[in-house]
Structure 1
Amino acid sequence: MKKTVLILAASIAVSGPVMIPMTASASAIERACNASDRKAANRSLCGCIQQVADFTLKNADQRKAAKFFKDPHKAQELRQADGSHNEAFWKRYKNFGETAAQHCSS
């Protein structure tokens, strides 16, 4: 299950506990997760991943990461792209994926 969560988070992809989100979100990650064709995607798991996203990613980051569910290759392209903005996003996204794997795989 842990591997499945990491794959889901990475394809859309913080140590310590996840707390209640500080800001409301448009639920872009949850919608993309639920709409994905992955067998492990379900409302509960996608909701958990969204909670982690709310805590670890800005809304703009969530919208960008949600596109990875439909086209996982976009994540690879962004990871390899030059630029400090892309590098900063990738660090936040990687943190999100690791946190989702830890928090949502129980």
Structure 2
Amino acid sequence: MKQAAHAVILATFLLPLLPVAAAQAGPIDRACNASPRKQKSISLCACIQRVADASLTRREQRQAARFFSDPHRAQETRQSDRPGDELFWKRYRAFGDLAERTCR
């Protein structure tokens, strides 16, 4: 009975905070947490998002987040001859390299 009371009290204080935390999650963090990959963790996805915040614009983050659900889109972007895609891909690769070194 005591545990149930503690759970209710805890939920009362924490539930109002959940939408705030979810709203603050960036596009990379949300895509990472939604991915089916076994290696993911909340802390890993948050770390990758922090690197994205420092490396990519919000627009670039949204574009990169789509790669989690559609890896073929990444391949199309990488092989594109459009100058904008080439610039994005260079920035995306630098972000990926930094995230790999930082978020181990």
Question: Which of the five TM-score ranges fits, normalised by the shorter chain?
Answer: 0.7 to 0.9
* Pairs within 5 Å for 1:49-60: 49-60=48-59
1:69 aligns with 2:68: yes
What are structure 1's unaligned runs of at least 5 residues? 1-24
% of aligned pairs identical? 56
Alpha-carbon deviation of 1:26?
5.9
Aligned residues, how many? 81
Q: In the aligned structure 1, how far is the partner of 2:44 from the partner of 2:25?
A: 17
SS at match of 2:37: coil
1:96 maps to 95
* Pairs within 5 Å for 1:1-106: 27-105=26-104
Once the two structures are superposed, what CA deviation does each residue of 1:55-91 show, in whole Å capped at 9, x if it has no partner?
Answer: 0000000000000000111101100011110000000
Equivalent residues of 1:26, 1:59 under 8 A apart: no
Give the TM-score taking structure 1 as reference length.
0.74
SS at match of 2:40: coil
Q: Which moved more, 1:64-73 or 1:25-34?
A: 25-34
Amino acid at match of 1:51: R
SS at match of 1:37: coil
After TM superposition, the runs of 4+ consecutive aligned structure 1 residues lying more than 2 A away are: none
What are structure 2's unaligned runs of at least 5 residues? 1-23
Give the TM-score taking structure 2 as reference length.
0.75
Q: In the aligned structure 2, how far is the partner of 1:72 from the partner of 1:97?
A: 14
